A and B are shown apart, each in its own frame.
Chain A
Amino acid sequence: MTCDELRPEYEAFALGSAGEPERSDIAEHLGRDCPACTEGVAAALSTVAAMASFAKPANPPRALRRRVIAMIDPSAARSRFAVWLPWAVALTLAIAMASIIVPARRESAVGSRLAEAFTILNDPAAKDVAFGEPAKPARGRIFLSPRRGIVLIAANLPSIPSGRTFQMWVIPQSGAPIPAGTFRAGAQGSVVYVRSGPVPPAAAAVAVTIEPAGGSPQPTTTPFIVSRL
C-alpha cells in the first residue's frame, strides 16, 4: 500500500489495533525508513505515550527497583545475590545446557535469568548483532560476550511440533558447528535464551536450527537464523 493509503491507519497502528494488511504494510514502511510513515507514526505514538497519564498511579514494590538495577550492577544487590545463589545453582543444574525460556510469570527464574543476560550485555567486549529479513519472519538480536556467553532475543519463531526443539549453534571460522544449547519458544514464538559461559574462540556466526528433542550433535536441518558476528 502507498503512504497515502496508510496514512489513515497511523493512529490505529500506534495504538496496536490496526488490522491486516495495514499493520504489516506500515511496519514494512518503517523498516525501510519511509519518511512519511515514520513522521506520521511518530506523531501518533507521541499521543499514545502521553495517554500514560490516564493510568491510575501505582507504586511498584521496592524490590523491583533492586531487581532492575541488579541486572546491570550486581554489586548493588550483592546480598540479594547471596540469597539467590542456591536457586541459581539449582536452576543451572536443572536446565544444564538446555533452553532457557523466559515466561512472563516466573519471577525468580526470570530475575535470575535476566541478571545473567545483563552480565553478558554489560561486557564491553560483547558483540551485538540484529537478525531478520523480509523473507523470514523470525527477527531479533544476539549478544555475544566471548568470556561470558550468548543472549538470544527472538520473536516470530516458527511453531514446531512436539518432539522437536530449537538448537543454537556457534559457527567457527573453520570447522563444524558447535552445539550451544536447545530451547523452546513461548506461545507467541518469542524467547530470551541465555547461554552462559565462554564462547568457543573464533566464532564467526551464531545459527539456530530445528532439531529432534534433546538436540543433535550436528545440524540436521538448514538454519533459519544465521547471524554473522
Chain B
Amino acid sequence: MILPALLLALELTGHNDEDLARRLQNREPRAMAELYDRFGRLAYSVTLAIVRDPAATEDLVQETFLRAWSRIRAFDAARGALGAWIIAIARNRAIDYLRSMQKRIEANSLGFDPADHPRLFNDTERNLLNAEHARLLQSALAGLSENQRRVIELAYYEGLSQTEMAEKLGQPLGTIKTWTRTALQQLRAALTAGATA
C-alpha cells in the first residue's frame, strides 16, 4: 500500500548541504547530530515502512548513518544532495534486510551500494524532499494507473524484482517492465515540471 504523503519533508528545507557535508568531512561531531536531526526521522520513516519492525529499523538507521559517515569523504560537498543520498542508503539497507529475512537470493538489493556512489547524487535537486515536491509527487501518483501504482508499491516497499512481480501479478515480464518504467518516468516528469514551473 502506498502510504499517504504527509509532507514529512517540510523540516528538510532551508538548510545548507554544502556546509554540513564539509563539516562531516572534517569529522565535526556536532555535524553528525545535525545530519541526524535533518534526515533521521525521514530515514526512520522510510525504513520502518519497508521492514515494519521498529527494533530492526533502529539498527538499520544506525547502520545507515554509519555508512554515510564512513563514505562522506567521497561526497562532493559542492554538488551533492545529502538528503537523497541518505535516503537511498537507508532504503538499500532496508531492502537488503527484508530480502535477507525472506531468504531471497539477491545478494545486493540495488545492484550497488549508494553509499559507495555519492557522485550519483551530484546535482540532484537539494530541495527534492521538500513539501512542494511531495505534493507534486502525490498528485502524479494519483494519476498513475492501478497497475503502475501496484508495481511501484511492490518495488519500493516490498523490494520485489521485476521477475518476482511478474510471477506475483501473473503478467509477462515485459509488461511489468513497461509499467515500472512508465510509472517512474511519469513521477519524474511531474517533479521536473514542478521545478521549472
Q: A12-B180, A12-B181, A61-B58 are in contact. Are A27 and B44 (CB under 8 A)?
A: no
A186 on the B face (CB < 8 A): yes
B191 on the A face (CB < 8 A): yes
B15 on the A face (CB < 8 A): no
In the assembled complex, the Cα of A72 lies from the Cα of B188 at a distance in Å of 36
Interchain nearest-CB distance for B130 vs A (Å)? 9
Q: A51-B137, A56-B4, A56-B45 are in contact. Are A65 and B36 (CB under 8 A)?
A: yes
Residues of B within 8 A of A52 (CB): 8-9, 42, 45-46, 87, 91, 129
Residues of A within 8 A of B2 (CB): 54
A-B contacts, 26 of them at CB < 8 A, read A8-B181, A11-B184, A14-B184, A16-B92, A17-B160, A18-B161, A24-B111, A27-B111, A42-B123, A49-B87, A50-B134, A50-B137, A51-B152, A52-B42, A52-B87, A54-B3, A55-B46, A69-B29, A69-B33, A105-B53, A117-B66, A141-B70, A153-B70, A156-B108, A186-B100, A190-B96
A59 on the B face (CB < 8 A): yes
Residues of A within 8 A of B125 (CB): 46
Interface residues of A (CB under 8 A from B): 8-9, 11-19, 23-24, 26-27, 30-31, 38, 41-61, 64-65, 67-69, 71-73, 76, 102, 104-107, 110-111, 114, 117-118, 121-122, 124, 128, 130, 141, 143, 153, 155-156, 186-190
Q: A24-B111, A50-B133, A105-B55 are in contact. Are A64 and B44 (CB under 8 A)?
A: yes
B23 on the A face (CB < 8 A): no
In the assembled complex, the Cα of A192 lies from the Cα of B140 at a distance in Å of 40
In the assembled complex, the Cα of A138 lies from the Cα of B33 at a distance in Å of 32
Interface core residue of A13, A46, A187 (most chain B CB under 10 Å): A46
Q: A17-B162, A45-B114, A60-B61 are in contact. Are A53 and B84 (CB under 8 A)?
A: no
In the complex, besides A12-B155, A47-B188, A57-B8, 9 extra interface pairs with C-beta distance below 8 angstroms are A12-B181, A15-B184, A46-B124, A52-B8, A53-B138, A54-B156, A56-B3, A64-B40, A69-B32
Interchain nearest-CB distance for B44 vs A (Å)? 4
Interchain nearest-CB distance for B101 vs A (Å)? 8
Interface core residue of B37, B92, B108, B122 (most chain A CB under 10 Å): B108
Interchain nearest-CB distance for A150 vs B (Å)? 13
Interchain nearest-CB distance for A40 vs B (Å)? 10
Docked-complex contact A47 and B3, CB < 8 angstroms: no
Docked-complex contact B138 and A16, CB < 8 angstroms: no
Interchain nearest-CB distance for A161 vs B (Å)? 18
Interface core residue of B65, B109, B151, B191 (most chain A CB under 10 Å): B65
Docked-complex contact A13 and B184, CB < 8 angstroms: no
CB-based nearest A residue for B37 = A65
CB-based nearest B residue for A49 = B84
Docked-complex contact A121 and B70, CB < 8 angstroms: yes
